[in-house]
A = this chain, B = another copy of it.
Amino acid sequence: MIDFTISLSSDSHLPLYERLYRSLSGQIRSGQLQAGQKLPGKRSLAAALAVSVNTVDTAYQLLTAEGYLEVRPKSGFYVLPVPQALPKSGARQAPPPHPALPAGDQPPLARFDLSTGGVDTSLFPFRTWGRIQKELLYSSPQLLTRGPSQGDEELREEICEYLRAYRGVHCRPDQVVIGAGTEYLAGLLAPLLKGPAAVENPGYRRTRTILENNGLSCLPVDIDREGLSVEMLARSGAEVAYVTPSHQFPTGVTMPAGRRGELLRWAEEAPGRWIIEDDYDSEFRFDLRPLPSLQGMGGADGPVIYLTTFSKSLAPSIRIAAMVLPDSLLLPYRQRYAVYSCPVSRFEQQTLCQFIRRGHFSRHLARLRSQYKERMEALRQALEEAFGPDLLELEGTHTGLHLLVRLKRGPDEETLAKAARAGGIPLGRLSDYYMCRRENCPARTLVLGYAALPPDRIGELAGTLKEAWMPLLG
């Protein structure tokens, strides 16, 4: 099944491990190597290719670090599902650069982008954004000079105003730090806190990696139907809790007010305890008024550090996020980072500032919310019609841009994911988001991000999924 010959013999200026890495990652992306497939052992592959075991080991390590492979203890390396970015038209991807397998063996390529990081780029406010950008470029040469370390004052004012009005965040502009993504900001924050930090299980691995890379050790703490379990948190020995209370990632649970109060009380019980509130997609709440932020319940000098991003509301490639620091972290922050430059281009900062100030942002959000709500409703209806209430259950549909699809009976998650992928539908497995205690993962549950799913292809998606799964459901 695995074909290395072509790639390993060409590109001879590259190190061998790099060529092997490229060959394998290409085959995983193209679907030649499928999710769940076991790779050959390092020794046998090294022998087969006449390279050193070290070369194979290096390539496998790289692929694991990048999320192509997973190590299963005492078993070996297995291919993980790779979310594939697709052209908006839904056309098939260009053929992979590697030689094709005989037609019968080749799984179909991904036909939908159902990743949780996608957004509908056609909703981006091209015209307004472009107009402001152009206006600033010609009128504001002072934006070429170095700006303030925490970000441009005007943008911090606008964000502060917005967070106060829409998310109930208590803040002043001097508490706001602008950064190139919440991950960047989490990296600055980590060294200011004393760990260990509890992270949600299941949860967002990337934040964990970043906190750990910046010296904050992490403990996965389980979530229940109300979000992070404060009881388990208290027992864990953690001094910091990283949470997504508006829309737990990936389960979609919203933390109710009672649990929020408990969490704040936990933080107030001992000095040096902090809560990091990642409010990553709270703009998209479809039924009720959103609960105000946890930070707002805790106050301007409470125990909550608030993080928000514009990746979901504007575009993943426009790297602007904001962090609101409690007063008592401002001094340590400034002592450590006074000399740092704000990583976001000032033109982009000021474009966003004017976009918010002139009222475009709230109109844009209203438009996104109605579009995404319609899409989610159509998807819900299509899936419910295809499977019926006895078979299918959806979760996390009140807010955010992804939902959980659960089958009430049928084969295991892995079999369902494999069948869907064979139909060209790449779905995430909920169990992949568990950092430990996978046995607690609800059965037959898959993660579906719908922000990048074109509305006119929802019927096709539901139909294809039905074709893929019905034979397995007896």
Q: Could you list which residues of chain A lie within 8 angstroms of chain B, going by C-beta atoms?
A: 13-15, 17-18, 58, 61-62, 65-67, 85, 87-88, 117-119, 121-122, 124, 126, 129-130, 133-134, 137-138, 141-147, 172, 174, 180-181, 183-184, 191, 205-206, 209-210, 213, 215, 315-319, 327, 330-331, 334-348
- Most chain-B Cβ atoms within 10 A of its Cβ — which of A119, A345, A347, A348? A345
- With contacts A121-B145, A317-B346, A335-B65 taken as known, whether A210 is within 8 angstroms of B138 at the C-beta atoms is no
Query: Could you show 26 A-B contacts with beta carbons less than 8 Å apart?
Result: A14-B172, A14-B174, A18-B174, A18-B330, A58-B331, A66-B334, A66-B339, A85-B145, A85-B146, A88-B141, A118-B145, A119-B144, A119-B145, A121-B142, A126-B138, A126-B141, A180-B343, A180-B344, A213-B336, A213-B337, A316-B341, A317-B346, A319-B341, A343-B343, A345-B345, A345-B348
Evaluate contact between B345 and A319: CB separation under 8 angstroms.
yes
B209 touches A339 (CB 8 A): yes
The 7 A-B pairs with the shortest beta carbon distances in the complex, nearest first, are A180-B343, A144-B315, A317-B346, A121-B144, A65-B335, A66-B338, A146-B316
Tell which of A126, A172, A331, A336 has the most Cβ of chain B within 10 Å: A331
Chain B residues with CB under 8 Å of A331's CB are 17, 58, 61-62
Contact A316 B17 (CB under 8 A): no
Contact of A343 among B129, B143, B174, B319 (CB under 8 A): B319
Judging by beta carbons under 8 Å apart, are B146 and A317 in contact? yes
Select the residue from A137, A146, A191 with max chain B CB neighbours within 10 A.
A146
Rounded to whole Å, the gap between the CB of A284 and the closest CB of chain B is: 17
Please give, as numbers and ranges, the residues of chain B lying within 8 Å of A126 by CB-CB distance. 137-138, 141
Give complex CA distance A134, B129 in Å. 10
Contact B137 A62 (CB under 8 A): no
Shortest distance between the CB of A155 and any CB in chain B (Å): 13
A143 touching B183, Cβ below 8 Å? no
Residues of B within 8 A of A319 (CB): 180, 341-345
Q: How far is the CA of A133 from the CA of B174 in the complex (A)?
A: 31
User: Is A62 within 8 A of B339, CB to CB?
Assistant: no
CA distance A371 to B17 in the complex (A): 47
Is there an interface contact between A130 and B134, defined as CB atoms closer than 8 Å? yes
- CA separation between A88 and B142, bound complex, in Å? 9
A18 CB to nearest chain B CB (Å) = 7
Q: Which residues of B lie under 8 Å from residue A18 when comparing CB positions?
A: 174, 330
Closest to A88 in B: B141
Asked if B15 contacts A327 (CB within 8 A), the reply is: yes
Q: How far does the alpha carbon of A344 sit from the alpha carbon of B347 in the complex, in Å?
A: 12
Alpha-carbon separation in the docked complex, A330 to B184 (Å): 21
Whole-angstrom distance from the CB of A119 to the nearest CB of chain B? 7
Cβ–Cβ < 8 Å partners of A142 in chain B: 87, 121
Q: Please tell me which one of the listed residues B62, B138, B209, B339 contacts residue A205 in the complex, with CB atoms under 8 A apart.
A: B339
Q: Could you list 6 further interchain pairs (A-B, Cβ under 8 angstroms) beyond the known A58-B331, A181-B341?
A: A61-B331, A180-B344, A206-B339, A317-B346, A319-B344, A319-B345
A147 to B318, CA, bound (A): 10
Asked if residues A340 and B183 are in contact (CB atoms below 8 Å), the reply is yes
Which B residues are in CB contact (< 8 Å) with A119?
144-145
CA–CA, A44 and B335, complex, Å: 24
